[in-house]
């Protein structure tokens, strides 16, 4: 089974969704037969590398809400993260542009370190308060997962792997993906949002059982019964509140 995940390292629901899928995979009888592929998706391709505002202030600005409301939103995500071992610290988050982090992820993919680097990038951004557009920071993170730091830095200082990022984003456009995380199973079954791990497990078992007899591309679940399918996901540079 192949699972492709379109996500952005700056998306809090992408981190949640990734972890919930991992929990489901740990309980899936055919885990060893599953290949997970991370695909690039920039929530805001026009994002600057440096902002004067902090994370709370930018959310407040995007949604035209008070900063305190933005903090409440982040606190809700923090509570969800604690339940599955993610220690969000939105006070330390450094808003930035994720394009170079995605380029580095493609280098890691070529070196067989995609999952390890993706884990580290999410943690670096949401828990450690590191700048994911700083080349020295990114190359150090690459070294932590066993990649060559000097090679990573050389790649970051060039345009290498830019086309790979754009190819993933073009594929997302063809699939009409406008919010992340977005999961595609075997090029045919789609699931969006930070689903409960139980939902992921149900989907894994359904795909395993029905793959040979279900010919069409289909959505397997919404985020919550009677809720909009874009809840607990991020789109257009924003995360749903």
Helix axes 12-26, 197-210, angle to 10 degrees: 60
Question: 137 is written with which tokens?
Answer: 């920071």
pLDDT in tens, 129-182: 999 999 999 999 999 999 999 999 999 999 999 999 999 999 999 999 999 999
pTM for the model: 0.89
Q: Share the mean pLDDT of the chain.
A: 92
pLDDT of residue 233: 76
The answer to whether 149 and 104 have CB atoms below 8 angstroms apart is no
pLDDT band at 112 (very low <50, low <70, confident <90, very high): very high
pLDDT of residue 237: 64
How many whole angstroms separate alpha carbon 7 and alpha carbon 39?
A: 7
> Where along the chain do its domains lie?
2-239
pLDDT of residue 93: 98
Query: What is 2-239's CATH number, 3.40.50.1400, 3.40.50.2300, 3.40.50.1370, 3.40.30.10?
Result: 3.40.30.10
pLDDT of residue 212: 61
CA distances from 24 to 43, 79, 109, 188 (A): 26, 20, 23, 19
pLDDT of residue 143: 98
């Amino acid at each position: 089974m192949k699972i492709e995940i379109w996500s952005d390292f700056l998306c809090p629901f992408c981190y949640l969704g990734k972890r919930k899928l991992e929990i489901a995979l740990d309980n899936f009888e055919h885990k060893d037969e599953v290949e997970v592929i991370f695909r690039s998706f920039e929530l805001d391709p026009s994002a600057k590398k440096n902002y004067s505002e902090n994370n709370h202030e930018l959310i407040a600005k995007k949604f035209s809400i008070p900063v305190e409301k933005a903090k409440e939103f982040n606190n809700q995500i923090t509570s969800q993260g604690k339940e599955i071992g993610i220690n969000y610290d939105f006070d330390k988050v450094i808003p930035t542009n994720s394009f170079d982090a995605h380029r580095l992820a493609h280098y890691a993919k070529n070196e067989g370190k995609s999952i390890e680097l993706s884990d580290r990038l999410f943690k670096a951004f949401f828990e450690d308060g590191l700048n994911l557009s700083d080349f020295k920071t990114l190359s150090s993170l690459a070294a932590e997962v066993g990649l060559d730091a000097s090679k990573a830095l050389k790649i970051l200082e060039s345009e290498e792997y830019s086309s790979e990022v754009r190819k993933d984003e073009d594929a997302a456009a063809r699939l009409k993906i406008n919010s992340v995380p977005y999961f595609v199973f075997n090029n045919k079954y789609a699931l969006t949002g930070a689903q409960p791990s139980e939902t992921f497990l149900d989907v894994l078992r359904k795909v395993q059982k029905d793959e040979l007899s279900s010919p069409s591309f289909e959505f397997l679940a919404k985020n919550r019964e009677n809720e909009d399918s874009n809840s607990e996901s991020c789109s257009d540079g924003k995360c749903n509140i």
